[in-house]
Structures are given as structure tokens and as C-alpha cells.
Chains A and B, each alone.
Chain A
Amino acid sequence: MKFPGGLLVNNLGQVVVHAQTASDQLHLLMLQTARGELVSRQTLISDGDTLPDGQTIKKLGLASLNHSGDIAVAARLDNGQPAVYVDVHPGATARQAATTNSPLPGSDDSVLTNMFGDFELLHDGSLLLVAGFAQAGTPRALRGGQALIHLTSPGVSDQGRVLVRSGDSIPGSADTLGLIGMIDCDGRDPTFVHQGLAARPPLTNGQPTGDGRTLLLGGSFNSTSPKLLARGNAVEVTPVLARLVPEGSSTIGPRLNRYGQVACVIEKSGTDTLYLEGRALLTAGQLSPLGQPILGFSAPVVGPRDLVFGQLYTESGSELFVTNGQQSRTYLSTGIELQGKTIRTLAFGLVRDMVDDDGTLVCLVEFTNGSQSVLMGVPH
């Protein structure tokens, strides 16, 4: 059994992991832990499963786990269409939240296309989803594109609203939003962060006339606070990148903790810097906690008490570390031995929810003998 990289943990000690068998079949497993010990293991859903709605899973995608134990998973169906399912339980029971041709919330003439992107299950059971939408029937107001959608009762109704979408203006900029990349949401307080791509000027003579910029954008949504609504069903969007960090390239996923703190890795002139709320914590070129010059970072995960967990790379390997900007500590590194086996590769930060609110973390390691393990680190 191999682990392709999907690994999530919540405050209930539940760990959801993707596992791949020798036949390339993907399974989504639920590991129940207590104080760092494995209590039970169940298969939730697998490639080839037929769901209660009659659809068959062709290939599982990423999953999302909230602190209530709810699980959502993306999948490509046998009919080729993408879909997101919620209420995923052992025995492949799940309810479809969205797929191609699902209605776009708040619109009676638009549907979702097969252009699905990132998604996140929030702690109240609602769902954030990036999807393309197509519009028909209103010649003078055509506006197909990509939208960040909040489905308030996914799998139950189509209720929800569009938070931002292609063509929205970007405050403080003459640009408009083109595409939406990775998202995150604190889940408790209505704040979200996402990558956005400023729309490039139109092509003329076959070539782009300007440069599209990737932006890190943030916003708030709260159905009880209509004052936040900028217009229609859109909410005000604030480019947090400009507020929090210097300009640079942001291709690595932005991360948000439950207190709304944003961590990100920004590359500028070929140098990675890890930021928390605009404060530079570590920069490539500095020494790692193990004394090696840092070459770069993977995506961070924001934990409790201003702690940022991450993986850094050095000439000699990589380290799983935690930092608050003043102090840094390495938990694991390649080359060390665990239970008689030497770690060849480790992976942390591939997905968002790899640290719970108490600082319990999960990561993947591969040993020099080729075996792989899911590790859990428990604070004490």
C-alpha cells in the first residue's frame, strides 16, 4: 500500500488518508486515533464503488475533513464528469454535493461546467467549491467563468451563493479576477483566502499584451452580515497579499488557521520566504534548525499559538519543522532512524489540514527499504 499524499487530521483524532494498492486502486481510509495510538481503521470509499445515487467512482480525488468528523471527497465519475460528495461514510455511502450541470446557486440560468477546482468542507458542514460556470439565456449579461461558491447545505439542497467569480474587480487594482486557484477557510469565523489570477489584458495579434499576476486574496462572508456584501451575491474581496507580504510569486498554497491567520510562501528573485500575517519567519539562505542552509519551503500549515509547521529543503535532505519566527525546531528529518528504519523522504504540507488545533500533526514518510508510513506527532 502506498500513500499518494492526501492526509488529513481533525480535533477528534480522526485521520483520513488516501491509500493506493498495487493495482493503482485508490481508497480513502479513516484512522481513528486516541492520544496518538491507532484505535481503528475503516475504508470509507474506493475507486470503483457505486454510490447510492447510482454513480460509480472512476477515480477518487482530494478529500476534506472538518472538526465535526464530516468528510467530503472529490471524484471523477464513470461518466467522466467531476463531482464532490459529502457525508462520506464507510460502505461508500455519500451524497452528491455538486457535479457538472449542477445549478449555480443564486442563478436560474447558469450551471456548473466540468471545470472543477479546489474545495473545502467547513466546520458547519457547508462547502466551499471552485468551479467553472456557464450561463445561458441573457445575451446582454453573459458572464461565464470560474466562481468560488459557498454551498450551505451540500448534498441536501442547491442553496448557497457565489462569493467571488471571474470578472470581479480587485480592490485597489484596475485588474479583474481571472481564475481562482487554491482556497482555504478558517471554518469557524467566516474568512477565506484564495489564490486569484488577475485577468490578463485581451490578446491582440495572438499574443498577450500584459502580464497576468497571481494574487493572494482574502475575504469574509457571513449571511447575517449583509453589510459585507459588495454587490449582489458577491462579497468584498481584499487583496491580503499587498497588506501582509511584499509582492512576489505565490504558486504554493496559502494557508489559514482557525483564527484567520494567513501563512504563505512567497518567492521573490528565486528566494522563498515563509510569512505569517506579513511577518517573515524564515527565508531561504538562513540555517535550518539542524544547521543546514535552507533552499526552499513546501506549503506551511498554521497551527495554534502563532506556530507555523512546514517542510524545508536543504542540500542534504528535508526537515519537518515548527517555527514562530523567534524559535524554530525540527521534528523529523530525512536520514534519521525510526523504529530501526531510515527515513529517505518525508512529506508535509501537501494538503491543508495536517495539524489540528492542539498542534497534533500527521505526515508521510518513506523509508530506505521502500516502505511508507503515516506518522502522527502528538504535543506533550
Chain B
Amino acid sequence: MAINNPKTIPPTLVATDDPLSLCTGALALIKDVPVLPLGLSYNGTFFQYERKVAGFDRSVSGKYSLFFGLCGPSWATTANVKGTYGNGSGGGTEINLQLSDTLTEAGLVFGAAAGLDFSVSMTTWVHDFNFDVNVTADAVQLLFTLAQVLLGDKALVSRVSEKLPSVESSWGAFDSTSDNWAANDGQLSVNPAFSIPFNLWSLMLIADETSAIFGGLVVASNAVLDATLSSITIGPTFGLGVDLSVKMEQVLLNNVPYPITGFDGASSLTAQGPGAPPASISSIGFGFSQTPYFDFQLGLTAQLQLLQLLNFSASYTIDIAAGLPQLSFGTFSQTLEVPAGQLTLAYDVEFA
């Protein structure tokens, strides 16, 4: 349909942030859950056990400290927009937009530092079984390989440049697409999901063997375990489930919503609404509806097994949701609107 007396919508970067980030300017994945860097710090005792029986003494203590840096869950999008608007042939206002250089991400950014303090003293058989380990590790780096195997080509976990406090590196667990909204009928879906309990000890052992990053302490302690056919399993369980479907439903001009009436299957869209077109536009953006699902699992496990004789174990889960407002799922709407004609970082997010 032709637009009468068309006016230009200047080239504008409609973006949550530039460069795109899940930590700054991003849209909430779940209604009322803030997109804020969050530091979750835990420390305590896995187990503390002491039993003195002549010839069969055993004393075991395992302590942990974990810091999880978390940013999100959120989603972010960027698009270069330009087009025209004016009187529609059927009345009201009609808009024609071209979108290019689009990118959308959803997920979260995280980092984890794990500190372990194990003290084991046992007398069994002919071995004096003693070691004391106190190390810290960049837990997520060690998790990464396994996550890649799990997720195959999707590669939903990768090191990101976001800086989170108290962790050595930050990682993004997210899905992203560069598909143009217009090429997908205004619909984009992302769904990173995995749950991984992993043995930090064996990964730390490899790291210590290859680069002595723990000064050989883990290697030496593991030699004691090997000599007694014993094993330690320790590490976080990390789970992430994000299922997000976003539908671009409106074009916003000067905060006035115009329902999208069609996509051309490539890079353009049209929108239409009642009323006369504005004389000029000061802002432009989009309205989205989304149906989120989010699950973030953190757990801590530790097991020490001596032959088939003794087993000490402890397991915790961390209730991330307890530190957040009540999660509200179901479909909800958000808008993203920026000053027209500016390639700006300014953004405005409102819950509808």
C-alpha cells in the first residue's frame, strides 16, 4: 500500500546497548526481575567428621567457598532502522520500516570462583591418609568443554567481555540470532538449556598436571588418593534453562504504538494505526510480547570415598529465586524506544 505524503524516518540505531550486552540496557527476560549484576557468595562446611577408633581413625572436613557472579537473565537486541511514514491509503497512519544489521541475544552472563579446603586424615590398612588442600579455581572455565560437548554446534556458552566482580572470567550462557525480524515474521526464539554436575577435582588435577596452577598441591593430594584407591568428587552443579519467544508487535513513534500489519519476509515491515501521522518524530522503537521461561540451578556437591569402605558426601542446592522478586511467567510486553535519528546508547524500557 502506498503512503501518501511520506515523511522520512531517519536512520536510527534501535538497540538496548551498543555494543550489545546482556548486562547493560538489556530487557528483562522475566517480568519484574531486574537485570542487575548480582553477586552470590556462599561459604560453609560440606562435612565435618571425626571418629577415633584405635587403628581406624578418620577425620574429614570439607569446606567450600563459592562466588557466583550473575547478570541477567535478560535479552538484548539491536537493529539499524530507517523508513517512511505518512497517511495511509485507507486512512490513519502507515509506517514502512527497513531493518538491517539485526542481532538478538538472550540468556545471562556469569562467572564462578570456587574455593575448596579439604582436610583428610585417616588411618586404614597400612596407609596414613593425610592431606590438606586449599585451592581456588575459575570453575566456569573448567566447565566449558563439557558444556560444548553437550550443546554441540549450538555453542551457547562462551567467554564474554562483560566484567563481573570477583571472578577471573565471565561467560555468557545465551542464544543469539542475527536473523532479521522481518525475515521471521517478527518472531525470534532462543532457548539455551543445560544442567551439568561436574567434578571440579579431576579438572583441577589436569590443570595442575599440565601447568601447575595449584603449585602441584592437587597432584600431590591426588597421589594419596590413588595410593589408597580412593577418590574425591567435588564441584558445582550448574543448570540453565531459558526458553524465550519474542514477537515484535508494534512500531512506536513518539510513544504511540502502531500495530505491525506485515513483514515482507526479508528486511521490511509495515505498521498501521488510527489518527493522523505526527508532524515529526522524536522517538522510534518497537513493542514486543514475550513468553519467558527461566530456570537457573546452582548446586554444590562433595563426595569422598575410600575404597568401598567409607563414603562422605554432602549436597546443597542454592535457591537463586529466594534472592529475587517472585518470578512471574506468562506472556508480557515490553517496549524499546530511542530518540529518532540518533545512533545513541540511550534507551527507555517500560513494562506494559
Contact = CB atoms under 8 A, between A and B. Distances in A.
A379 B14 CA distance: 85
Interface string A75-109: 01000111000000000000000001100000000
Contacts of B151: 136-137
A208 to B, nearest CB: 6
B252 interface: no
A120 to B, nearest CB: 9
Contacts of A351: 307-309
A330 interface: no
A59 B149 contact: no
A375 to B, nearest CB: 14
Interface in B300-335: 300-301, 303, 305, 307-319, 322
A313 B124 contact: no
B interface SS class: strand
A345 B318 CA distance: 44
A58 B164 CA distance: 37
A287 to B, nearest CB: 15
A46 to B, nearest CB: 13
Contacts of A6: 229, 307
Contact of B51 (A20, A178, A200, A296): A296
Interface residues of B, number: 67
Interface string A166-178: 1000000000001
A82 B239 CA distance: 22
B295 interface: yes
A369 to B, nearest CB: 13
A185 to B, nearest CB: 12
B202 A350 contact: no
Of the candidates B146, B223, B235, B303, the one having the most CB atoms from chain A within 10 angstroms of its own CB is B303
Interface of B: 41-44, 49, 51, 53-56, 124-127, 146, 149-151, 191-199, 202-203, 205-206, 209, 223, 226-229, 231, 233, 235, 237, 239-243, 293, 295, 297, 300-301, 303, 305, 307-319, 322
Given A76-B202, A202-B319, 20 more contacts: A18-B229, A113-B196, A132-B197, A135-B194, A139-B293, A142-B194, A142-B297, A179-B314, A179-B315, A181-B303, A182-B305, A195-B311, A200-B316, A202-B318, A203-B317, A206-B42, A298-B309, A299-B308, A313-B55, A345-B125
Interface of A: 2, 4-6, 18, 20, 24, 26, 59, 61-62, 76, 80-82, 100-101, 111, 113-118, 132-140, 142-146, 166, 178-179, 181-182, 195, 197, 199-200, 202-204, 206-208, 212, 214, 251-253, 267, 270, 272, 295-296, 298-299, 313-315, 317-318, 345, 347, 349-352, 364, 366, 372
